Amino acid sequence: MLIFLLCLQMWYHLSKTLAEEAAWKFVNENNINMITINPGMVAGSFLQPEVNESIEYILNVINGNSYVLVELCCMKILLSPFLIYM
Q: Which residues are catalytic?
A: 16
Spell out the residues 6+ positions from residue 82 whose beta carbon is closer than 8 angstroms to its own: 1, 4
What are the backbone dihedrals phi and psi of residue 31, each rounded to the nearest 5 degrees, phi first?
A: 50, 50
Spatial distance between the Cα atoms of 55 and 9, rounded to a whole number of angstroms: 21
DSSP-derived 3-state class of residue 54: helix
Q: What is the DSSP letter of 31?
A: T
